Amino acid sequence: MNENQPKAVIFYQRIELAEFYPLHALEPYISREIMNDHYHGNHKLYEKNLNLVLSQLEENQQENIKKNYPDLEKLLQNLEKLPFSPAVRTEIRFHGGGLINHNLFFSHLASQIVSVAEKNQQELVSEDFLKALHKDGFDGLDDLKIKLIKEALNNAVDNLRNGSY
């Protein structure tokens, strides 16, 4: 590491995939290699680069983030209100969004072998999630999917970087 480069502080982390399932659990639908590339490649880089960008901020800005934005979602929701340059906002939005998207992706995949306890937990999470959707103004999961797809298509060209997707 370059001596002039600040040491990256860990602000936000990716989920621990091992808590959910092993990399090969989704075969034959998603190969171990693809899961490995996405988890140990893309996902890890979003985490690393987001924390590096945040580590390069002034100390008072770092403390503000730690104190007022313990959740990455909250930071991204309030990003425009914070005194960052447009370039820093872009980097935080890109890497933070990638980290959140991959956390969501990995945490919502499941192997076909799910225990009764896990099924019960999934039902509770799903019920809470649906309640939150309604609270946030969505008419259900299908409405969320439609709006996410529409938003993704509207922003695909603007947000595509590095040829990742």
Domain segments of the chain as ranges: 27-109, 112-165
Tens-digit pLDDT profile for residues 117-163: 555 555 555 677 778 878 888 877 677 777 877 776 666 555 555 44
Task: Note the pLDDT of residue 119.
Answer: 54
The CATH number given to 27-109 is 1.10.287.990
Alpha helix stretches (DSSP H) within the chain: 32-36, 44-55, 59-68, 72-77, 86-108, 116-135, 141-159
Comparing 115 with 56, which gets the higher pLDDT?
56
CA 147 to CA 85: how far, in whole Å? 29
Contact 109, 45 (CB under 8 A): no
| Top-confidence residue, 152 or 57 | 57
Residue 99 near residue 119, CB atoms below 8 Å? no
Under the banding of pLDDT at 50, 70 and 90, the label for residue 1 is very low
What confidence score (pLDDT) does residue 9 get?
74
Give the tokens for residue 22. Answer: 């092993």
Cβ atoms of 102 and 46 within 8 Å: the answer is yes
Mean pLDDT across the stretch 2-22?
A: 73
Read off the pLDDT of residues 96-121 as tens digits, 9 standing for 90 and up. 999 999 888 888 876 655 445 555 55
Give the pLDDT confidence of 62-84 residue by residue, as tens digits.
999 999 999 999 999 999 999 99
Residue 59 pLDDT exceeds 50: yes
pLDDT at res. 4: 58
Residue 93: how many CA atoms within 13 Å on its side-chain side? 16
